[in-house]
Structure 1
Amino acid sequence: MQFLIYLIVYPFLWSISKLPFGLLYIISDGFYILIYHIIGYRKKVVNNNLRLVFPDKTDQEIALIRKKFYKHLCDMFLEMAKTMSISKKEMEKRFKIINPEEFKRLEGLNKSIILIFGHYASWEWSIVLQNHINFKGLAVYKKLANPHFDKLVRDIRSKFNTTLISTKETTSIINHNESEGIKSITGFLSDQSPRLSKDVYWGNFMGIDVPCFTGAERLAKKLDLSTAYLKVTKVKRGFYEAEIITLAEDSKTYKNYELTDLFLKEVEKQIYKAPEYYFWTHKRWKHKKD
């Protein structure tokens, strides 16, 4: 059954990927009507999230953010499909690194780098980063249940020679690389909601105390790696810019959870400035302290 679903969906995605961007966004507008106005995909989750973090906004302001978000969500989904066939030249035109010299400076410290992302703007197109670094590029991802779609995701995200590693193998691979003297830049999406446990770290995100992933910070401190944040902003439809913001050159000198808090504050600043580009369908605040 999993393979059958893949056989049905894959030709559609491939066909989408071959379309010119103008037509792609016309289709995205149609998807928006279907997903937002007809299906109402996760509207309750989005509303609850927006109400929770923006209690002072009016109904009209919340509705405007919600509509803009769903339009961006549809764009991002089709852009992900477009990645299947996009050229390197086109990708670099649409996803620009505005300070690549910061990567060079951090690489000059001769330390591997932990690069933390948020679910903001376009994290999918960040795969173009490999074209701007000398270190080995790694990206941590959660393995999909369907092995055929899992391979497809790995193929898409490895298009420009970034190596995908699953969450379960991250620590062992980075430890192995360090022992072999292989310097790497490892990307973590770290603003998800982790499973609750007695030793989970509760940080403040958008004014609410929530459990936080700290795996990226723990690795950086344990192995004495540099830590940076990739700030991705949407310039206009189909065009993004990314800035490397160094959080710590010597991560081990920071207090526990300090780097995680710095990361969350960077994401917050982007959300407050343009909230429509955050991933509001994600249940980030499903666990929270009263």
Structure 2
Amino acid sequence: MNEFAIGGDLSVHRLGFGAMRLPTESGPGREDSIAVARRAVELGITLIDTAHLYGWGANEELLAEALYPYPDDLVVTTKVGVVRTGDDWKYDARPDSLRAQVEEGLRRLRVERIELLQLHRIDPETPLADQLGALRDLRDEGKIGRIGLSEVTVDELARAREIVDIASVQNRYSLLDREYEAVLEACEAAGIAFLPWRPVLGAASNATAGIAAVAKELGATTAQVGLAWLLARSPVILPIPGTAKIAHLEENFAAAEITLTGEHLERLGS
């Protein structure tokens, strides 16, 4: 199954694209970034992930330049909750700050509604009810379609769901990094989309002999095996691998066509 309905009604291809690595400075690098974003859409990717943190809005502006007006089936999800403080940054999910970040995101992305808005990190200095209450208000106003979280524990997810409906969780997870296995299982039980970030780094750069052997048998790369494993691991997983190169983008997207057998999955430790 290559489609998943986030929040039960927002259908996207299960293999998305993370835009964090795209250079945004003017020049050839930016031109290449625009080409990569456009190629992602051409391939059939319908979920692109960005954030206020990525260039302090520059990444959002880049995607708008590359893709606006957006195809009807394209979801550009962004994240808020981290702000710049001079040359540094800090968590800031106070209601007024979240509202300002969302308004900036709407302007930069050139939209009236962000279909999936994720809290980049829970702010330890602000009551969770205040943070999620602000996002719920923005959702009720029609500026947000669905609310997601990022880098949360099982307990934090449970507490958040007592306050507002949660449509997605974006935690670090891959074939070789399963720290948040329990969070994935909680998402699967609740039908919540799980967007693993850094989904292939471990498999690509530190491939074990077992992963390399499976890749060789399939005529695939270890990174592709890592992505195929994620897609097979759970129907709620929507990997968002990022790259600044079209060749890598195409390689990643081709992983959706790789079928791992039960024997392959057993060898990979499923």
* TM-score exceeds 0.5: no
* Higher relative contact order, chain-length normalized (CA < 8 Å, sep 6+): 1
Greater helix share, structure number: 1
In terms of Rg, which structure is larger?
1
